[in-house]
């Protein structure tokens, strides 16, 4: 999505202040496991504006009609 950022699942805890400015955080990865990890970290940090595509990963993201920018 335009204006989105890509944060590695191992780095989300280092981007907390930056992520607070987003109304909704959409979390996905290719297969879903890393998205689940990032979701757990953010949830533990108090974020409650999370949408996680863990079960279907990128394919689910596309199936839901969300855009991809490469």
Q: Which of 38, 32, 34, 37 is nearest to 55 (CA)?
A: 32
49 belongs to a structural domain: yes
For residue range 6-50, list pLDDT tens digits in order: 899 999 999 999 999 999 998 988 888 899 999 999 999 999 999
Is residue 1, in this structure, part of any structural domain at all?
no
Length, in residues, of the chain: 70
- Residue spans of beta strands (DSSP E) within 1-70: 25-28, 50-53
Total number of domains constituting the chain: 1
Query: Considering the domain boundaries, does residue 2 fall inside one?
Result: no
For residues 49 and 23, the answer to whether their CB atoms sit within 8 Å is yes
Q: What does pTM read for this prediction?
A: 0.79
Where do the H-state alpha helices sit in the chain? Answer: 16-19, 33-44, 57-63
Domain coverage including residue 22: 12-63
Largest separation between any pair of C-alpha atoms in the chain = 30
User: What pLDDT, in 10s, does the model give residues 25-35?
Assistant: 989 888 888 99
């Amino acid at each position: 999505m335009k204006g989105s950022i890509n944060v590695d699942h191992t780095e989300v805890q280092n981007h907390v202040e930056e992520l607070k400015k987003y109304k909704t955080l959409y979390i996905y990865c290719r297969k879903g496991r890393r998205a689940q990890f990032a979701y757990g970290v953010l949830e533990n940090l108090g974020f409650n504006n999370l949408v996680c595509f863990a079960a279907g990963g990128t394919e689910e993201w596309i199936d839901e009609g969300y855009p991809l920018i490469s």
